[in-house]
Amino acid sequence: MIDRITELQAEGEAAIAAATATPALEEARIAYLGRKAELPNLLRGVAQLPPEERGAVGRAANEARKALEAAIEARQSQLASSELEAKLVEDAVDVTLPGSPAWPVGRLHVITAMRREIEDIFLGLGFRVAEGPEIETVYYNFDALNHSPQHPSRLKSDTFYTTEGAVLRTHTSPMQIRAMRAGPPPVYMASAGRCYRRDTPDATHTAMFTQIEGLAVDRGLSLAHLKGTLLGFAREVFGSDREVRLRPHFFPFTEPSVEVDVSCFNCARDGSPCRVCRAEGWVEILGAGMVDPNLFDHVEGYDKEELTGYAWGMGVERIAAARHAVPDIRMLWENDLRFMEQFG
Ligand code: DAH
């Protein structure tokens, strides 16, 4: 009987050592120490043995049971730690791998970014930023800006009328009158926003576009102040070695009026035929001038004998197109991501 016990212990130890996973170890436990297993049965039967055998068999069987229990416990903790390790390896997340971009990060539209950049430049030059309505009265859009009743831009073929006496503003210049009416002089104001014209879209026109208006009204302002302001602006946007040039022009609400060109930043860099300025060397960026004194008649408390002012209106799309050498401003509103993602 003692031999059988020794044999059972050896078999059990071998089975325990051979178990490579927790379920296999549990099977070995049931096979050698379970309720129906041979060794526990043997232990239960010790009392029926002849007295002279009882002591030796009982001791041997008990020791075998303890040995097997200890072997199971040791194997259990070995398996637990190797299983944990395997699980950790399997579940490991390599935090250095790039994530999967399920939600692409957005960015500002190139026109929004350009608009904010220009606003920041004028804030830095001491202008405050104002916002105006896109639906404007005929009075603010044309009359108060010195447009004669026959002015062609009033035609329904040129301008979107919403209701009688109201238009989708054709420029941001109405903000000149609104800014002056908002408070006493001096005024240093910049205002950006959308404008609308019944233009047939082409490479340089869209029916909706963005302008930034500027107005300065104070004592003693001259064309030199206008030029200095716009030169400062041009150098911020297009590079510190830019020059500006003023060409005579006509606008109903400025006298004198000018168009302003900035020296081309693109062909200044390389001598090849330039697609930004079309080999002109200059890029037209805005209209400007000295505020026509007639405008002050529309604003209480603004004395045209005392005050002078300068103003400008610039097209944000044209400035962005020049800066990024975009050949056709319609591309800025097509919202083809392959194109838009190049900016910002
Ligand atoms: N409003 C003009 C346009 O849309 C641009 C302009 C010209 C604005 C001269 C001005 C200015 O403030 O002084 O064509």
Note the pLDDT tens digit of each residue in 270-304.
667 787 888 888 999 999 999 999 999 999 999 99
Q: Report how far ligand 1's centroid is from the alpha carbon of 287 (Å).
A: 5
Q: Report how far ligand 1's centroid is from the alpha carbon of 157 (Å).
A: 20
Residue nearest to atom 2 of ligand 1 (CA): 313
Give the model's pLDDT for residue 271: 64
Buried-exposed string 157-191: b where 16+ CB fall within 10 A, e elsewhere: eebbeeeeebbbbbbbbbbbbbbbeeeebebbbbb
Q: Report how far ligand 1's centroid is from the alpha carbon of 152 (Å).
A: 15
Give the model's pLDDT for residue 160: 98
Give 134's DSSP letter: S
| For the CA of 258, the nearest atom of ligand 1 | 9
SS3 call for 244: strand
Both tokens of 329, joined, read 């401003």
Distance, CA of 75 to CA of 80 (rounded, Å): 8
Q: Report how far ligand 1's centroid is from the alpha carbon of 213 (Å).
A: 7
Give the model's pLDDT for residue 311: 98
Q: What string of DSSP letters covers 197-216?
A: --PPPBTTB-SEEEEEEEEE
Residue nearest to atom 12 of ligand 1 (CA): 312
Give the model's pLDDT for residue 233: 97
Q: Report how far ligand 1's centroid is from the alpha carbon of 319 (Å).
A: 15
Both tokens of 174, joined, read 């109405």
Q: Report how far ligand 1's centroid is from the alpha carbon of 202 (Å).
A: 21
pTM: 0.72
| For the CA of 172, the nearest atom of ligand 1 | 1
Mutate to test the pocket of ligand 1, among 127, 171, 208 (most ligand atoms within 8 A of CB): 171
Residue nearest to atom 3 of ligand 1 (CA): 171
234: nearest Cα among 118, 73, 328:
118
Give the model's pLDDT for residue 67: 87
Mutate to test the pocket of ligand 1, among 178, 253, 255 (most ligand atoms within 8 A of CB): 253
Both tokens of 240, joined, read 């510190």
Q: Report how far ligand 1's centroid is from the alpha carbon of 215 (Å).
A: 11
Q: Where are the alpha helices (DSSP H) in the chain?
A: 2-18, 22-33, 38-44, 51-91, 110-124, 138-141, 174-181, 223-238, 316-324, 331-334, 337-340
Pairing status of strand 166-168 against strand 135-137: antiparallel
End-to-end CA distance of the chain: 88
> Which residues have C-beta atoms less than 6 Å from ligand 1?
171, 173, 213, 251, 254, 257, 287-289, 311-313
Residue nearest to atom 8 of ligand 1 (CA): 313
Q: Report how far ligand 1's centroid is from the alpha carbon of 29 (Å).
A: 94
Q: Report how far ligand 1's centroid is from the alpha carbon of 286 (Å).
A: 7
pLDDT of the chain along its 344 residues, tens only? Answer: 888 888 888 888 888 988 898 888 889 888 888 889 888 888 888 888 888 888 888 888 888 889 888 989 998 998 889 888 888 888 888 888 888 877 878 889 999 999 999 999 999 999 999 999 999 999 999 999 999 999 999 999 999 999 999 999 999 999 999 999 999 999 999 999 999 999 999 998 999 999 999 999 999 999 999 999 999 999 999 999 999 999 999 999 999 999 999 998 887 556 677 878 888 889 999 999 999 999 999 999 999 999 999 999 999 999 999 999 898 999 999 989 999 989 87
Mutate to test the pocket of ligand 1, among 153, 177, 312, 319 (most ligand atoms within 8 A of CB): 312
- Interval 121-173: pLDDT, tens: 999 999 999 999 999 999 999 999 999 999 999 999 999 999 999 999 999 99
Give 161's DSSP letter: B
Q: What's the chain's length in residues?
A: 344
